[in-house]
Structure 1
Amino acid sequence: MVLELRQQLKLAQKLVMTPQLRQAIKLLQLNRMELTDALQAEIEQNPLLEEALDVEEKVQNPEALSAEEVKEVPESVVTEQVAGDNPATVAEINWEDYANNFDTADFSFARETPPADAPSQFDFISAKPGLEAHLQWQLTHLDLTEKDMEIAQFIIGSLNHHGFLEADIEDICRYAHCDEETAQGVLNLIQHLDPPGVAARDIRESLLLQLEYEDYEEDDLPCVIVRDHLNLLQTRNYSVLARKVGQPVRKVEAAVKVITRLTPYPGNEFANDQTNYVVPDVYVYKIDDEFVIQLNDEGLPHLQLSAEYQKLLAEKKALNAESRGYLREKKRNAEWFIKSIQQRQRTIYKVMESLLRFQRDFFEKGPGHLKPLILRDVAEDIGMHESTVSRVTSNKYAHTPQGIYELKYFFSTAVSTTNGDTVAAESIKNRIRQLIQNEDPAKPLSDNKISQLLAEEGIKVARRTVAKYRDQLKILPVKHRRKARTG
């Protein structure tokens, strides 16, 4: 066998993903908040791109305008804006007016005593103290030895975000080189700090610590139920629970009310988890009998090509060949970027318009009237590929007269009814939610009963399918929804 190099001509068709096409696809699947970051990043790295100021911004920021743009702003407005720039007309600023003098630590008779409800500078800290900081603050008020403080620091550092201790006594002894009695004593001290129930090993111990904090004795009924019959409490089987503890049902119900006021996870109230709010990408309003679609452009920078750099490109002798080539490339990229943004907005509008045509009953009457719909239906309706529709509907939300929904929500598989029609799976989920909301709390509906009720309405759904939909709706099983009758 002889190895040799050989040239060969071959004609073939293939799709080449240019950088511009990849950029357009990436922009298409970004949600609104991600798009804002992408626009800002592109403005920073491309000198030919700049944010266009509207008329109001031009008036408020005349120093940011070119000579030609200044002529477009009314002279009276500009004059009013800069009239106070004369040093003779500007009063001396007393910076003491802007200082935060709410703290009373440096109080002197030369100053007026601040009111008791005056805010402290600590009220303006963006992140609130977590559980660890709260416990550390309490330790500073205790008279502990150096060894006890070391053990206490280890215990606090071993708490998870629920406030439960993830170490045992042996771990504490091994770390601090102390005996079990000393470790247990410091642990008992930490367990009696605020919040009640902190540093427990599990929910049972946490609830018992909280009951102890409320002066309940070990033999009191709430403590007995938590200590010995927590599993029956979870299933709300009060009749069996009453027989186990040898008490009337009404006393068991009163004890359960005491227990349900407690906090199973004492550390959660100190969690610093941030809430991420949904910002709609598109709004759908109903005006008279017509629906109006409006894209959410609020906060998005309006892009334009830099007039100064375009002027440099127009002057043939102003730049050398290398600089001119660089600016031309950046100008092409900027034009393509602006075109991609415009194409993205038009595509979202078209998809929302198509969804409005297919799901008009939903926008009129609510989730119970959602129809079966797949990506191919919308793709064929607007003349685009299914993958494009999929990218447009991912992580994007619409504000509708029925509430805020992800665009993916409007696509639902079909379930056949007994009369030969089809109904969307999301409509069935909505009906299951309604049935559970209207059930008798003392006799909640089982999955099998819900399946029978749906069958009576012409919707044939198996019990396991009902259970699957219920889990997706984050609704507890029947044994956890049962509540005792009051009165």
Structure 2
Amino acid sequence: MALAPRLDLRQSQSLVMTPQLQQAIKLLALSSMEIEAFIAEEVERNPLLETGTSEIQAESPPDDFTALPTTESGDRSSDDVLGGTDMAASEALDVDFGAETFHHDGVADSVGGADGMLGLSGGNTASSFDGEGPDFDSFAAADISLREHLMAQAGASLSGRLLFLAQQIIEQIEPTGYLGADLLAMAHRLGVSMAEMEEALTEVQRFDPTGVGARDLAECIMLQAKEADRYDPCMAKLINNLDLVAKGAFDQLKRMCRVDDEDLRDMMIELRSYDPKPGCRFESESSVAVTPDIFVTARGAGWAIELNSANLPRLLINRTYVAELGQDKATKAWLNECMADANWLIKAMDQRQRTIIKVATEIVKQQDGFFRGGVAHLRPLTLRQVADAIEMHESTVSRVTSNKYLHCDRGLFDLKYFFSSGVQSADGDGVSAEAVKSHIKTLIDGEGAKILSDDTLVDLLNAKGFDIARRTVAKYREAMGIGSSVQRRRQKKMGR
């Protein structure tokens, strides 16, 4: 067949990803603080936009958790999509915008619910929303940094060349309090002898907090032991063998230190009283309060789900501003553009709220047992299960659940907390990994003098209806920071 140029006419359907539609999709993944910052920028940029003072009425889903259906669409502009019906808007926003654009979706789309938690694994964080009150944080004095604290001490007690060298050492001290540079390399760089650097370091190590300027953990503990006048030969031997302490090799330590059980126990208690990171107390950052995006409260036999209106400023269009401006052609064109942008943002925010409510409703429906009975009744759940139930794309659910928090009677939870893998149970339904961890922790907390081995834990969990292997029990136990039966037995023996 001869090769020749020709013209073909083809008909196809595609979704046009305009910049406005791309921004609407990005809005789904923003946290409440990021949304506030975004809206503030838009209000400052667009003179027709302003925030209202009245509260937005929070949306509440129907009692039967009915999800809105979606259909396929062809080519539409972002204005047509966001200005159309709820189903059309949901469908247009429900697209996979590509991992290269939303690079964070790779982690968010994974199942591991336990890893998805943002420091809220306990789930018992008490939250209070009592309205107005004094901001006591505003009365707090400014925190002094570790560097400033050490520099002040150096300036008060040292002078001349020694002060200069001490300041150079302080500049290399890490936030934990350890010296983060090689002393010999510093001596070569500054053109001084190693003896002078050692003298300057000795002076720095006398500063508060005790243990600052140490080059390793053993030296840090040693400095604190000397300050407490507890650095005898036995304690020195114990500090020089911290690896054996970590392994729990207490019999070997007794022989090396030449002490009995009671003396070793006293030494261990003394050792645990020291601070391994003395500089951290000066590097504390102000806590950022996490405000929930969704409230879940019991309502009859079901649940009421509503958005936190405090996180959603009400957007209004100032139409009187249009009338006050001149009516020349350039001004009218600019005002029309501002009006279109304002209308788009209002519609995009409204659709974002509807999508969050839709996803949260399905999560509450799937995890009804958790809200009624606690973490022991948490079911395994994946993003795909929720996406299939509400007929949306999995990436949309991932964006909606990113940086969003849910508040219920049981505390404040990241939405990712409700997604986790699971194990098989006797009744045929899966059990969440978080539920299994809860049972393991309960059994270990109540083991008393009889330490439970992993094999015993497997038998006890099997009796409860969990089909779980020993390696899985060990993995979950280590993930919770619980030692093995041998380590726990040694800790009990030493009174830890």
- Same topology, TM > 0.5: yes
For 1:352, the equivalent position in structure 2 comes to 360
Q: Which runs of 5 or more structure 2 residues have no equivalent in the other structure?
A: 56-137
Please give the secondary structure, in 2, of the residue aligned with 1:133: helix
Q: Which letter maps to 1:136?
A: M
Tell me which of 225, 229, 234 is aligned to 2:238: 225
In the TM superposition, residue 364 of structure 1 has moved relative to its aligned partner by 0.7
In the TM superposition, residue 383 of structure 1 has moved relative to its aligned partner by 3.6
For 1:459, the equivalent position in structure 2 comes to 466
Could you say which structure has the larger radius of gyration? 1
Tell me which of 179, 197, 203 is aligned to 2:217: 203
* Superposition map of 1:396-415 within 5 A: 396-415=404-423
* Separation of aligned partners in 1, 2:369 and 2:292: 21
For 2:264, the equivalent position in structure 1 comes to 252
In the TM superposition, residue 15 of structure 1 has moved relative to its aligned partner by 1.8
Relative to structure 1, the CA distance from residue 143 to residue 393 in structure 2 (aligned partners, 3 Å threshold; closer, same or farther) is: closer
Relative to structure 1, the CA distance from residue 476 to residue 311 in structure 2 (aligned partners, 3 Å threshold; closer, same or farther) is: farther
In the TM superposition, residue 225 of structure 1 has moved relative to its aligned partner by 1.1
* Separation of aligned partners in 2, 1:187 and 1:474: 36
1:272-318: CA deviation from partner (whole Å, max 9, x where unpaired): 434333221101122565422221121532101112234359xxxx4
For 1:54, the equivalent position in structure 2 comes to 54
* Separation of aligned partners in 2, 1:125 and 1:431: 42
* Superposition map of 1:59-98 within 5 A: none
Tell me which of 305, 310, 330 is aligned to 1:293: 305
Please give the secondary structure, in 2, of the residue aligned with 1:293: strand
* Separation of aligned partners in 2, 1:399 and 1:475: 28
Relative to structure 1, the CA distance from residue 422 to residue 5 in structure 2 (aligned partners, 3 Å threshold; closer, same or farther) is: closer
Q: Which letter maps to 1:223?
A: A
CA contact 1:374–1:411 (8 Å) conserved in 2: yes
Relative to structure 1, the CA distance from residue 376 to residue 233 in structure 2 (aligned partners, 3 Å threshold; closer, same or farther) is: closer
* Separation of aligned partners in 1, 2:47 and 2:142: 36
Please give the secondary structure, in 2, of the residue aligned with 1:285: strand
* Separation of aligned partners in 2, 1:240 and 1:334: 73
For 1:43, the equivalent position in structure 2 comes to 43
CA contact 1:200–1:206 (8 Å) conserved in 2: yes
CA contact 2:293–2:311 (8 Å) conserved in 1: no
In the TM superposition, residue 35 of structure 1 has moved relative to its aligned partner by 1.1
In the TM superposition, residue 423 of structure 1 has moved relative to its aligned partner by 1.5
In the TM superposition, residue 444 of structure 1 has moved relative to its aligned partner by 5.0
Comparing 426-435 with 326-335, which one deviates more in the overlay?
Answer: 426-435
Tell me which of 130, 135, 147 is aligned to 2:161: 147
Please give the secondary structure, in 1, of the residue aligned with 2:150: helix
In the TM superposition, residue 363 of structure 1 has moved relative to its aligned partner by 0.4
CA contact 1:394–1:407 (8 Å) conserved in 2: yes
Using the size of structure 1 for normalisation, the TM-score is 0.77
Q: Percent identity?
A: 37
For 2:401, the equivalent position in structure 1 comes to 393
Please give the secondary structure, in 2, of the residue aligned with 1:280: coil
In the TM superposition, residue 6 of structure 1 has moved relative to its aligned partner by 6.2
Please give the secondary structure, in 1, of the residue aligned with 2:297: strand
Q: Which letter maps to 1:17?
A: M
Please give the secondary structure, in 2, of the residue aligned with 1:450: helix
* Superposition map of 1:22-37 within 5 A: 22-37=22-37
Aligned length: 411
For 2:127, the equivalent position in structure 1 comes to none
Q: With a CA cutoff of 8 Å and minimum separation of 6, indicate the structure with the bigger relative contact order.
A: 2
Q: Does 2:216 correspond to 1:216?
A: no
Please give the secondary structure, in 1, of the residue aligned with 2:310: coil
Q: Which letter maps to 2:480?
A: L
CA contact 2:176–2:277 (8 Å) conserved in 1: yes
Relative to structure 1, the CA distance from residue 367 to residue 321 in structure 2 (aligned partners, 3 Å threshold; closer, same or farther) is: same
CA contact 2:426–2:465 (8 Å) conserved in 1: yes
Relative to structure 1, the CA distance from residue 375 to residue 216 in structure 2 (aligned partners, 3 Å threshold; closer, same or farther) is: closer
Please give the secondary structure, in 2, of the residue aligned with 1:262: coil
For 1:369, the equivalent position in structure 2 comes to 377
Q: Which letter maps to 1:456?
A: A
* Superposition map of 1:157-196 within 5 A: 157-196=171-210
CA contact 1:372–1:424 (8 Å) conserved in 2: yes
Q: Does 2:333 correspond to 1:321?
A: no
1:410-456: CA deviation from partner (whole Å, max 9, x where unpaired): 2233421245442222211222232333344x765454443343223
Relative to structure 1, the CA distance from residue 326 to residue 475 in structure 2 (aligned partners, 3 Å threshold; closer, same or farther) is: farther
Q: Which letter maps to 1:135?
A: L
Comparing 392-401 with 6-15, which one deviates more in the overlay?
Answer: 6-15
In the TM superposition, residue 207 of structure 1 has moved relative to its aligned partner by 0.5
Please give the secondary structure, in 2, of the residue aligned with 1:256: helix
* Separation of aligned partners in 2, 1:154 and 1:286: 60
* Separation of aligned partners in 2, 1:137 and 1:242: 43
Using the size of structure 2 for normalisation, the TM-score is 0.76
Please give the secondary structure, in 2, of the residue aligned with 1:161: coil
Q: Which letter maps to 2:238?
A: I
